[in-house]
Structure 1
Amino acid sequence: MFLSRRLRGFYAFAAAWSFNPTRGLWILYLVHCHWTLFEVGLAEAGFHVVAFVAEVPTGLFADRRGRRASLGMGLLIHAITALMTFYLAPLNIFLGIISVALGALAWAFIGGAEQALLYGLIEEVYGQAAYGRIYGRVLAFELLLAALSTALGGWLAVRDGWSWPFVLAAIAALIGIIAVRTIPEYLPEPIRSPSWSGLWENIGLALRVSGHKPGLRRWAVLGSALGAFVTINNLYAQSTLVLKGAPIGMATMVVAAAGIVTAAGSFVGGQTVHRDYLGWGTALLALAIASIGLLPLGGAGGAYLAAAGLDGCIDPLYEARLNQVAPERFRAAILSLPSAGFSLLMIVLFPLAGWAMTEHHLRAVYLVMGLGLGITATGFHAAVPPRGPRTVNGTDPL
């Protein structure tokens, strides 16, 4: 019961952050505003440039100023940039690209801080082994709410126009700032520095710490590859299914179903985090992604759903293992390293994949993604022996 009360505020924050009716609509809105797909690609590339630059500094902000402060800052930026995108994108391409790109700051401020704060709240009372189980439940909750809010956004856009999804996203983010204030802060050993003049020194220190921890940088590389290949797969899923002959309505239903499958996988992954399936699970995920491009429509749809479920199962285990080896003092900064690597890969791979698909190299794109993920996972597991999380005495905190 004690931990449930501690997590109540965190679940409220997670609900506000996940409730984003624009999640599946922002590209369609930009196209509605007469943007070309190339211009949309520029906005997405700008998003990842900002994310890459901001990931580690915002992680240091969370470690120094408090993780709740970082969550609040991210939610405020999310509210502002949602409204900026809605109002500025129809007026000017340049201003629209800036609005989308600045939205990456919200993800940067929230990413590492969210995981570090949740880990601290759980580890303080129940130990490391409880984290994967609870993280899986929180992630499943977030994914389900994201899927529902996306469906709501589509319904509102068709029924009442484009403004409501963006306005509701901003309102939810502002409510989330209030929810953040109810979360207990967990920062037992803050980094003390008199000013931001030592920011880059702190970043360098965090990177050196990551280099001294066995396998920590390899964990960051694996997380970067997982994030990039899974995200490219998800962003191009609807277009891929349509190119293979699916009606737009059917493709949309498959993508929505994949969100539910991912949520279910996250719940299952959280409950089975004590098992060591990261190696063969990643191999199956790589095979599923490659199969999307190689198989006809029916098989591609099934492979996409399988990839969604595997991604959900792997995520809690990966996060639990990464948190085990990350020192508390630099936890948020180190947890930002995979996100920074992910953004760097997306800057290069996302437009390259789009160009290749435009040139009718669909099969090659998915085959390369599957091989890339498989090779990365093989190299990682050859260098880092599998190790399960330590057991902890006590009952299920939920």
Structure 2
Amino acid sequence: MDAPSLPTGDILRFYAFRASQSAGFSLPIYVLFFQSRGLSLAEIGAIEALFTVFVVAAETPTGYLGDRFGRRASLLAGTALSALGIVGFVFARSFAAFAAIMVVRAVAEAFRSGATDAWLYETLAGTADDDRFAHVSGRASAIGLATLAGASLVGGGLYALDPVYPWLLEGIALTTGMAVLLGMDEPDRTVEDGAGSARFSPWETLAAIRSTLANRAVGPLVLAVGLLAGITNTMEFYLQPVAVATPGLSATTLGPLYAGLTLASAGVTARAGWIEDRFGVRGWFLVGPPLLGLSLLAVAVAPAFALPVFVLGRAVRSATTPIFGQFLNDRTDEGRATVLSAASTVRSLFTAPLNLVGGGLATAYALSTGLGGLGVMLLGGLVVTLGVWRPSLPSVTARESDAA
């Protein structure tokens, strides 16, 4: 039997869209920029926490809107709000202004989070290629990471010319993404469900979330992925001070360092489909995240291994995202964007408290000891969540059973 053909045009446009969203020219300089506008590190931490809180608050409502009005509409709304936030950063001069912009950016992120995976999965399902989700999503993430690496290099140089230039170029990239979206088709959400799942009431939406996340085949893994996301996000707090303290590195090398880490992650992400085929979902979660936890413990004893562990953290996170996305999509029959956003909400709930704990460890102890503490938390959480996880075959809807 011939392998099903992928919707080449749509997928290429999806790759272009992901690249436009990943052109983070501001990434290696945003802390410096905020400080140049009068914000202290404490205030920067506060607005980062505010961002996380509002992403959590907006995830499920925006996921519902994605199910109600369509994936492309959600992606357009998120991209437009993100571009608006970029413009706001150029003119912001106070903590209140930056905080307000961060709220806008959080809502933008929530609009795009569930709708992005839902659009891809349903587009692939329209040609019976939904089992290729991890492969295509992994390649899209790799393209995004490669774009981010290049943008990091360019952004650092632009900042030396004018602090506003990285933000302006990032805004242009987002605007290009909106143009790409206009050429993307809305997927047919009746492929798997003849009744059409695009029209959900809020109560039906909550029922879809509960039926998916309460299942022991899904819920524990959502928690494990949430813990991993929180740990790897918190590790970013340590990256810059560890890099500056490393012999031969300085603040001026952060741009190339970010680019190198991103490219290493891209290489692993591009092989996400191969990793899933090689290990399986359960096998990966029993190998990848625990390896990161053990490596973090090793840093507490041998601090010289810190930078390689940052590379490993990026790689494990990048490989896990598409593998988990495939797993969750295969077990979601209704309200796909809503359920994906709910899972993203759970992941986000880990970020803020772990950021606080990680910051406290970095302040009270040596950086290597703090990283070791993160390893203890990751390994402990994995023992609990993976111990109660009971993976099962992908669910089948009643209508599909009747049709068979």
Normalised TM-score (structure 2): 0.87
Distance 1:3 1:267, change over 3 A: same
Unpaired segments ≥5 residues, structure 1: 391-398
Letter in 2 for 1:285: L
Instruction: Indicate the residue corresponding to 1:117 in structure 2.
Output: 119
Instruction: Indicate the residue corresponding to 2:231 in structure 1.
Output: 229
Distance 1:251 1:19, change over 3 A: closer
1:304-343 aligned at under 5 Å gives the runs 304-327=310-333, 329-343=334-348
Are 1:248 and 2:254 matched, yes or no? Answer: no
Q: Greater shift after overlay, 317-326 or 203-212? A: 203-212
Are 1:85 and 2:86 matched, yes or no? Answer: no
Q: Choose from 287, 290, 297 the match for 1:280.
A: 287
Distance 1:349 1:211, change over 3 A: closer
- For residues 347 and 311 of structure 1, the distance between their equivalents in structure 2, rounded to whole angstroms, comes to 17
Letter in 1 for 2:7: L
> 2:82, 2:105 within 8 Å by CA — same for their partners in 1?
yes
- For residues 172 and 134 of structure 2, the distance between their equivalents in structure 1, rounded to whole angstroms, comes to 31
Instruction: Indicate the residue corresponding to 2:371 in structure 1.
Output: 366
> 1:289, 1:304 within 8 Å by CA — same for their partners in 2?
no
1:132-147 aligned at under 5 Å gives the runs 132-147=134-149
SS in structure 1 of the partner of residue 38 of structure 2: coil
> 2:237, 2:359 within 8 Å by CA — same for their partners in 1?
no
SS in structure 2 of the partner of residue 126 of structure 1: coil
Q: Greater shift after overlay, 112-121 or 369-378? A: 369-378
- For residues 211 and 268 of structure 1, the distance between their equivalents in structure 2, rounded to whole angstroms, comes to 27
Q: Greater shift after overlay, 99-108 or 1-10? A: 1-10
- For residues 173 and 69 of structure 2, the distance between their equivalents in structure 1, rounded to whole angstroms, comes to 24
> 1:12, 1:179 within 8 Å by CA — same for their partners in 2?
yes
Letter in 1 for 2:321: D
The structural deviation recorded for 1:6 is 2.3
> 2:221, 2:386 within 8 Å by CA — same for their partners in 1?
no
The structural deviation recorded for 1:284 is 0.7
SS in structure 1 of the partner of residue 24 of structure 2: coil
Letter in 2 for 1:97: A
1:7-86 aligned at under 5 Å gives the runs 7-86=11-90
- For residues 2 and 363 of structure 1, the distance between their equivalents in structure 2, rounded to whole angstroms, comes to 46
- For residues 257 and 166 of structure 2, the distance between their equivalents in structure 1, rounded to whole angstroms, comes to 22
> 2:222, 2:347 within 8 Å by CA — same for their partners in 1?
no
SS in structure 2 of the partner of residue 215 of structure 1: coil
Q: CA RMSD in A?
A: 2.3
The structural deviation recorded for 1:214 is 4.1
The structural deviation recorded for 1:103 is 0.9
Distance 1:147 1:191, change over 3 A: same
Letter in 2 for 1:256: A
Q: Choose from 94, 103, 106 the match for 1:104.
A: 106
Letter in 2 for 1:65: F
- For residues 371 and 258 of structure 1, the distance between their equivalents in structure 2, rounded to whole angstroms, comes to 24
Instruction: Indicate the residue corresponding to 1:383 in structure 2.
Output: 388
Letter in 2 for 1:46: L
Letter in 2 for 1:338: A
> 1:75, 1:106 within 8 Å by CA — same for their partners in 2?
yes
Distance 1:163 1:289, change over 3 A: same
> 1:264, 1:312 within 8 Å by CA — same for their partners in 2?
no
- For residues 87 and 202 of structure 1, the distance between their equivalents in structure 2, rounded to whole angstroms, comes to 42
SS in structure 2 of the partner of residue 77 of structure 1: helix
Letter in 2 for 1:169: E
Are 1:182 and 2:183 matched, yes or no? Answer: yes
Q: Deviations over 1:220-250 (max 9, x none)?
A: 2122112111111124312233245543345
Letter in 1 for 2:349: L
> 1:274, 1:388 within 8 Å by CA — same for their partners in 2?
no
Distance 1:231 1:334, change over 3 A: same
Unpaired segments ≥5 residues, structure 2: 191-195, 396-404
The structural deviation recorded for 1:252 is 4.8
Instruction: Indicate the residue corresponding to 1:396 in structure 2.
Output: none
Instruction: Indicate the residue corresponding to 1:265 in structure 2.
Output: 268
> 2:223, 2:346 within 8 Å by CA — same for their partners in 1?
yes
Distance 1:380 1:349, change over 3 A: closer
Instruction: Indicate the residue corresponding to 2:151 in structure 1.
Output: 149
- For residues 318 and 220 of structure 2, the distance between their equivalents in structure 1, rounded to whole angstroms, comes to 21
- For residues 244 and 365 of structure 2, the distance between their equivalents in structure 1, rounded to whole angstroms, comes to 13
Letter in 1 for 2:289: T
- For residues 291 and 338 of structure 1, the distance between their equivalents in structure 2, rounded to whole angstroms, comes to 31
Q: Choose from 357, 360, 367 the match for 1:355.
A: 360
> 2:224, 2:386 within 8 Å by CA — same for their partners in 1?
no
SS in structure 2 of the partner of residue 79 of structure 1: helix
Normalised TM-score (structure 1): 0.88
> 1:132, 1:320 within 8 Å by CA — same for their partners in 2?
yes
Are 1:300 and 2:306 matched, yes or no? Answer: yes
